[in-house]
Amino acid sequence: MHRRLIVPSALAASLLLAIPASAADYVPGAAGIGDAYYPASGNGGYDVSHYDLRLTYQPKTDLLEGTATIVATTTQKLSRFNLDLGLKVSEVRVNGRKAAFATSGDHELEVTPAAPLDKGKEISVVVRYAGKPSELKIGGWSAWHRTPDGGVAAQEPDSAVWWFPSNDHPLDKATYDVSISVPDGTQAISNGVLQSQSSKLGWTRYNWRSNKPQASYLATLAIGKFDITTDKTAKGLPVLNAYSRDLGDNAGAARASIERTTEVAEWLEEVFGPYPFNALGGYVPNVTSGYALETQTRPFYSPRQFAGGSNVSVVVHELAHQWYGDSVSVKGWKDIWVNEGFARYSQWLWSEKEGEGTAQELADYVYALHPADDPFWTVKPGDPGPDNQFDIAVYDRGALALQALRNAVGDQHFFAILQGWPQKFAHGNASVGDFVKYAEQVSGKPLAGLFDTWLYQPSKPAASAAAGKRSARKAVVGAPGQARTKSQATPAKPAQPKSWKKIAATNSVHDHDH
């Protein structure tokens, strides 16, 4: 009698053969979507199309209770999948049937449905959960601001895990219905259009709808006592601005700035093309932070942004993001320049419009402000790394890259690029490389070298690149864009543009208190 020896690998192979091929095909979705900077962000195996969030919040205790219904489509055969959420879960259902669930890491909710899920199928996921968002810290920081009369969710690059389950990465955008019940006398603000509100037994429910694809970090929630102004644009878009009633000395400056939202948006339409969403506005809660954030349709502003008086430049920055960052979102967080470089440059264009310094004058000033040995030049806006993602160089050096592009291709092609880009990638995602290719396509010029110089080289570029053809003329010039006589031995330091102080006051605009 001969006994056959089965080695472990052969045994494993025989066992696999014993399992029906169809069952072996079902595997867990990835615990991350594949972002180079934040490997744990997002998840694999499905694509969300809609979030329906039904919430109740008690300001006195900071207790948030929620039922989230997520409509998604599977992108592979799934035995299990993850959602991102930091609050405590009591029940999960998939396609109406109870599912097993477990938690891991800082915010991973692992869901095992009662039956495996086929590829390409629409599914519904219902998650019941509760908790106090202010008690949740991830990496030592929080996206949830506790205020004297409520709470606010607004943070980047992560915000959703503090208040709803999601596929938390810009690559998976979806539409939103947010319904939030709060005690009478308290308001609840979110993205998009207020569909309805009703009161019952001492509670008021607000129903908000954001009907265009929205990244999870751009979803916002603000509960408190606000003074609210409403209006409509000339094209009929609803405008809603909200101000905490206890902003103190910053109240007037905040209103003087945010109430110009419609004016700024109409001007930005001339620069970037049609406004991409169904509502407009902004809100200023009583928070202690100092940053602002482009939360979709309704940017968040900290009161400290107005500590030095009114500042329309910060409104320009956050509204520019509605095109660059919100409608066209990053493919990965390393592509942050296609958000921040353009939002900063929009501030330079606003300065140009207002007669307070041209974009070229601002470029000359910024270029001269940083000597060659300044660490400013070692940050690469095209791929700054997670630690430098919101470094000032991503903003100012990023804007310098756009001025260099403008000088290289001329105003006609440059502004065609600025308008065409948000149309080509509307409500989608794009990378720095995508922008370079698009700029080359529109201008008909090779631009890879220019972008490599300004976005990827860890050194101060030659001055002539920022000034374009002007510095190459036979006439002697000083700092880029400023004429001087032959008798001058060294370039004169560029004068500080009138707009500079207001623009510089927004340098902390995305200093997210991490």
Q: Give dist(CA 464, CA 363) in Å, integer.
A: 12
Distance, CA of 276 to CA of 218 (rounded, Å) = 14
Report pTM: 0.91
Measured CA distances, 83 to 89, 137, 358, 511 (Å): 11, 18, 47, 27
| 338 phi and psi angles, rounded to 5 deg | -70, -5
What sections of 245-334 are H helices per DSSP? 251-258, 261-272, 312-320
429 alpha-carbon distance from chain centroid: 12
Distance from C-alpha of 45 to C-alpha of 113, rounded to nearest angstrom? 13
Is the separation of the CB atoms in 289 and 302 below 8 Å?
yes
Helix, coil or strand: residue 320: helix
For Cα atoms 262, 264, 266, give the angle at the middle one, nearest 5 degrees: 70
Q: What is the pLDDT along the chain (514 residues), one digit of tens a residue?
A: 333 333 334 434 444 444 454 667 999 999 999 999 999 999 999 999 999 999 999 999 999 999 999 999 999 999 999 999 999 999 999 999 999 999 999 999 999 999 999 999 999 999 999 999 999 999 888 999 999 999 999 999 999 999 999 999 999 999 999 999 999 999 999 999 999 999 999 999 999 999 999 999 999 999 999 999 999 999 999 999 999 999 999 999 999 999 999 999 999 999 999 999 999 999 999 999 999 999 999 999 999 999 999 999 999 999 999 999 999 999 999 999 999 999 999 999 999 999 999 999 999 999 999 999 999 999 999 999 999 999 999 999 999 999 999 999 999 999 999 999 999 999 999 999 999 999 999 999 999 999 999 999 999 999 755 664 443 333 222 333 333 333 334 467 899 999 999 999 999 877 766 5
38 Cβ neighbours under 8 A, 6+ residues apart: 32, 157, 158, 169, 333, 386
pLDDT at 491: 61
CA nearest 181: which of 57, 62, 52, 64?
Answer: 57
Phi–psi pair at 211, nearest 5 degrees: -95, 5
Distance CA 322, CA 274 (A): 11
Q: CA 427 to CA 173: how far, in whole Å?
A: 8
Residue 9 to residue 16: CA distance in whole angstroms: 11
Provide φ and ψ at 500, rounded to 5°: -60, -45
Spatial distance between the Cα atoms of 160 and 102, rounded to a whole number of angstroms: 19
CA 417/CA 409 separation, integer angstroms: 10
Q: Encoding tokens for residue 505?
A: 């006051």
CA-based angle 38:39:40, to the nearest 5? 95
Whether residue 157 is preceded by a cis peptide bond, meaning omega within 30 degrees of 0, is: yes
**Residue 464, pLDDT score:** 57
d(CA 313, CA 281): 15
Sign of the Cα pseudo-torsion (276, 277, 283, 288, in order): negative
pLDDT at position 135, please?
Answer: 96
Q: Phi, psi (5° rounding) for residue 63?
A: -85, 125
- The CA distance from 487 to 476, in Å, is 9
Q: Are 110 and 103 in contact (CB under 8 A)?
A: yes
